[in-house]
């Protein structure tokens, strides 16, 4: 595997289900991100992890719970979602150095439908 | 936060034509990236270009940071160039903010 991978690619879940999205990066980066892309809206940053520590949480509802066990893996745990949470969820990674965060590389995304 | 505006919102080209896509931003930036989103949702990196000019095949990009804009040039367009083009910028907080995108349709 190369680059950034995400599983599953498609997910349909009911509002009472619990599921998890997985992201893995093979680029040797030390920062990882979750973005949400809803229809007709710009990509929205949800969470940023740097060196496995959450450094950004953009007012995301608690029904989304991220986990970063190491610098290569990132999860997004989902529970009691709403239909408006249906969207494309994108994972990205980049290198973080003293000067800041650098070029981000994205995975193929998980298309989530909440019924 | 930084505001990002892309223009035009939609663009229709005949195969073989050239085009220029524009990205304006409201503050100084440390990072600027251009992406192409294919019909399956994958964001493909085109350029990492906080300043200066770069070229990659039929694509080139120029960022004039002092005037707060970036341009993406597509020459001899092909149907496979169709999709949505995003500009994304980050300032001192390194948080990447995306524009709304430009939808390009290249007709054979």
Q: Nearest C-alpha of chain B: how many angstroms from A72?
A: 19
What pLDDT does residue A1 have?
Answer: 63
Spell out, as residue ranges, where chain A has pLDDT lower than 50: none
Residue B94 has pLDDT above 90, yes or no: no
CB within 8 Å of A43: residues ≥ 6 apart = A35, A36, A37, A90, B86, B88, B98
Identify the residue among A31, A37, A87, A104 best suited for mutation to test binding to B, counting B beta carbons within 10 A and taking the highest. Answer: A104
CB-based burial label for B30 (10 Å; 0-12, 13-18, 19+): middle
CB B85 within 8 A of CB B35: yes
**Where do we find the tokens 């964001």?**
B43
B74 in A contact zone (CB under 8 Å): no
B95 in A contact zone (CB under 8 Å): yes
Report CB contact under 8 Å: A106, B43.
yes
> pLDDT tens across A45-74, in order?
999 998 777 777 778 999 999 999 999 999
Residue B10 has pLDDT above 90, yes or no: yes
If you average pLDDT over residues B50-79, what whole number do you get? 97
Cβ-Cβ pairs closer than 8 A, A with B, add up to 51
CB within 8 Å of B21: residues ≥ 6 apart = B6, B7, B11, B71, B72, B73, B74, B85, B87, B102, B104
CB-based burial label for A41 (10 Å; 0-12, 13-18, 19+): exposed
B101 in A contact zone (CB under 8 Å): yes
How many Cα neighbours within 13 Å face the side chain of A101? 26
Q: Nearest C-alpha of chain A: how many angstroms from B18?
A: 26
Residue B36 has pLDDT above 90, yes or no: yes
B96 in A contact zone (CB under 8 Å): yes
Report CB contact under 8 Å: A108, B42.
yes
Q: How many CB atoms lie within 10 A of CB A29?
A: 21
- Partners of A102 on chain B (C-beta within 8 Å) are 31, 48
Render the burial of B45-56: b for 16+ CB within 10 Å, e for the rest: ebbbbbeeeeee
- Which of A110, A98, A83, A113 has its CA nearest to residue A23? A110
- Which of A64, A95, A90 has its CA nearest to residue A77? A64
If you average pLDDT over residues B60-69, what whole number do you get? 97
SS3 A96: strand
What pLDDT does residue A2 have?
Answer: 80
What pLDDT does residue A42 have?
Answer: 84
- Which of A74, A75, A91, A81 has its CA nearest to residue A113? A81
If you average pLDDT over residues B44-62, what whole number do you get? 97
């Amino acid at each position: 595997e190369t680059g950034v991978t995400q599983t599953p690619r498609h997910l349909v879940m009911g509002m009472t289900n619990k599921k998890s999205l997985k992201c893995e990066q093979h680029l040797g980066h030390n920062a990882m991100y979750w973005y949400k892309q809803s229809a007709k809206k710009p990509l929205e940053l949800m969470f940023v992890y740097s060196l496995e520590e959450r450094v950004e949480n953009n007012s995301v509802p608690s029904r989304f719970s991220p986990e970063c066990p190491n610098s290569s893996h990132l999860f997004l745990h989902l529970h009691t979602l709403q239909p408006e949470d249906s969207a494309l969820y994108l994972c990205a990674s980049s290198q973080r150095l003293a000067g800041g965060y650098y070029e981000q590389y994205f995975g193929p995304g998980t298309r989530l439908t909440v019924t | 936060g930084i505001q990002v505006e892309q223009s035009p919102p939609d663009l229709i080209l005949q195969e073989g034509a050239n085009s220029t896509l524009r990205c304006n931003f409201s503050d100084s930036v440390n990072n600027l990236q251009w992406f192409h989103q294919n019909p399956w949702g994958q964001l493909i990196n085109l350029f990492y270009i906080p300043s200066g000019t770069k070229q990659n095949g039929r694509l080139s990009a120029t960022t004039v940071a002092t005037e707060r804009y970036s341009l993406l040039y597509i020459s001899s367009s092909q149907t496979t160039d169709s999709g949505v083009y995003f500009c994304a910028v980050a300032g001192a907080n390194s948080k990447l903010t995306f524009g709304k995108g430009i939808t390009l349709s290249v007709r054979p």
